[in-house]
Chain A
């Protein structure tokens, strides 16, 4: 399995762990709106991460086979983030908007920590 596929697997695993913790927080703590916001942001962040991973595989395969390459899905990711914020603004009493913004950024620490931990091991 290539270095990239290993990295994708590890990142997916850590995002699922994080989502599980947030679901437990939303269900069993009194800070429901904060955890719901974090959950919404993290789900969208996970979707963005998945889309980026998939689009990069498609793009590089197309380049290696000398086929016509399609885009990287930048605007799909912007639109997903905008959708999360619109949902948070629509249900302002149930979802904390600052938590949504923090949730949207969760995939970046996952990427950076994973890279820092495994850059010499693969």
Chain B
């Protein structure tokens, strides 16, 4: 049961991170393609977005390893 719990924790965490990162990256690419001069600002927004989205899956990985 521990392995199953770990798999569900990591899997659902990574699923959420994948969707979130996908949305952030797609909008950033669209923005840079339209206005390359705004690259610095878009990099900052993307950095903060990706950083905060990945906090929860990292906790998921930690919990999964502790459960196993």
Q: Which residues of A contact B (CB under 8 A)?
A: 2-5, 7, 48-49, 52-53, 56-57, 59-60, 63-64, 69, 72, 74, 77-78, 81-82, 85-86, 89, 97, 101, 104-105, 107-108, 111-112, 115
CB atoms of A104 and B51 under 8 A apart: no
Q: Which residues of B contact A (CB under 8 A)?
A: 14, 17, 21, 25, 28-29, 32-33, 36, 39-44, 46-48, 50-52, 54-55, 57-59, 61-62, 65-66
CB atoms of A74 and B39 under 8 A apart: no
Q: Given the complex, which residues of B lie within 8 Å of A52, measured CB to CB?
A: 47, 50-51, 54
| Number of residue pairs spanning A and B whose beta carbons lie under 8 angstroms apart | 82
CB atoms of A74 and B21 under 8 A apart: yes
Q: A4-B40, A72-B21, A111-B52 are in contact. Are A104 and B47 (CB under 8 A)?
A: no
B41 contacts which of A3, A57, A89, A111 (Cβ < 8 Å)?
A: A3
Q: Given the complex, which residues of B lie within 8 Å of A82, measured CB to CB?
A: 61-62, 65
Give A49 to B58 CA distance when docked, in angstroms: 13
From residue A63, how far is it (CB to closest CB) to chain B in Å? Answer: 5
Q: Given the complex, which residues of B lie within 8 Å of A111, measured CB to CB?
A: 47-48, 51-52
CB atoms of B61 and A3 under 8 A apart: no
CB atoms of A53 and B47 under 8 A apart: yes
Give A49 to B66 CA distance when docked, in angstroms: 23
Q: Offer 17 A-B interface pairs, CB within 8 angstroms, sorted by A.
A: A3-B44, A4-B44, A48-B58, A52-B47, A56-B50, A59-B25, A60-B39, A60-B46, A64-B36, A74-B17, A78-B61, A81-B61, A85-B61, A85-B62, A89-B66, A108-B52, A111-B51
